[in-house]
Amino acid sequence: MIGFDWPWLFLLLPLPLLVLRLLPPADETEEAALRVPDLAPFAGDGATKAGSFKPRRWPLWLASLAWLLLVIAAARPVWLGEPIELPVSGRDLMLAVDLSGSMQTRDFVIDGKAVSRLTAIKKIAGDFIKRRVGDRIGLILFGSKAYVQAPLTFDRTTVNTLLQQSAIGLAGDQTAIGDAIGLAVKRLAQHPHGNKVLILLTDGGNDAGEVSPLEAAKLAAQAGMTIYTIGVGADEMLVHSFFGTQRINPSSDLDEKTLRAIAAITGGRYFRASDSEGLNRIYAILDKLQPIDHAPQTFRPRRTLFYWPLAFSLLLAAALLLRAQGSP
């Protein structure tokens, strides 16, 4: 069916008549006259057999039609499709992704190529987001500060796009885990019903922010939120230097003790992702979270139509303008 976003604009339809009645008539200008014995020589220029001229009304009708189409376009017509039922699980899920400087460490392998930790998260978490049909998903990015990149939404495509556009250092080079949890609690508290879940990915320990991770975890537990923490980073890595090849631990800064405590306080779990396959397995486990059913929700596809009446109105106005310029 067709609907209108601003139907009250149809009240403007009689505006030209009001202007015609309220404004004073234009001053008549005196023009030269020519006396002729009869109108026979001018019979082909609109004279009737009785000798009187018949006024041309079609320009007035065209102008009225152009005004009608313009008002219809201003009322924003839309085509409303059939209602579509959305599968709703009742799960509100926030992803909190670490963007600190250490996330650029290239200790993950995807398709035989060494990639940074953030690149691996983008690839695997992106696939995870696509699978979460029926969940409301939000995205928090954190470094020295934490901020909401995407609020809770059913639009998984947009959330995934915003995740793919994230960059190292965008939120600072340090790691404010507590602030990220606190921000998630604040956002999820706005939706009191449903299963509230936070998946937090980091490769370090809390060294910035105003809230300690454990205090933030206690607030999350009081709000009924479950936190799943994922420690990202390889257990060992070969580094080539002037002194030869050395074997180092690139995840020495990872605070697994705090991450385990955060998960335990909120009834969640801690996972260790030392490679891409491990990270993928973790998301497969998270896929098995039990949903809480909500009442089904529906939406109606909308297609904007205002440009059609607007285009025809402009064409009619242009035709009337050209006629006025071409008339003697």
User: Which one is predicted more confidently, 153 or 275?
Assistant: 153
Q: What is the pLDDT of residue 102?
A: 85
Within 10 angstroms of residue 136's Cβ, the number of other Cβ atoms is: 22
Note the pLDDT tens digit of each residue in 233-242. 877 665 565 5
Q: What is the pLDDT of residue 106?
A: 85
Percent of the chain with pLDDT over 90: 26
- Residue 64: what are its φ and ψ, rounded to 5°? -65, -40
Domains identified in the chain and CATH numbers: 2-24+36-82+300-326 (no CATH), 87-297 (3.40.50.410)
Note the pLDDT tens digit of each residue in 284-320. 887 775 454 555 566 677 888 888 999 998 998 888 8
HSE-CB at 194 with a 13 A cutoff on CA atoms is 22
- Mean pLDDT rounded to a whole number for the chain: 81
Q: What is the pLDDT of residue 292?
A: 46
- Which of 190, 255, 181, 270 is CA-nearest to residue 221? 181
Q: What is the pLDDT of residue 46?
A: 47
Q: What is the pLDDT of residue 48?
A: 47
Q: What is the pLDDT of residue 1?
A: 78
Q: What is the pLDDT of residue 51?
A: 47
171 has a pLDDT exceeding 80: yes
What does the block give as tokens for 22? 């309220």
Note the pLDDT tens digit of each residue in 176-233. 999 999 999 998 887 766 678 999 999 888 888 888 999 999 999 999 899 999 988 8
Q: What is the pLDDT of residue 85?
A: 62
User: For residue 78, what are the CA distances in angstroms to 13, 52, 66?
Assistant: 19, 48, 19
H and E: helices and strands count for the chain: 9, 15
166 has a pLDDT exceeding 50: yes
- Which of 202, 165, 198 is CA-nearest to residue 183? 198
Q: What is the pLDDT of residue 37?
A: 63
277 has a pLDDT exceeding 90: no
Note the pLDDT tens digit of each residue in 37-56. 665 655 554 444 444 445 56
Q: What is the pLDDT of residue 29?
A: 55
2 has a pLDDT exceeding 90: no
DSSP run (H or E) holding 256: helix 256-265
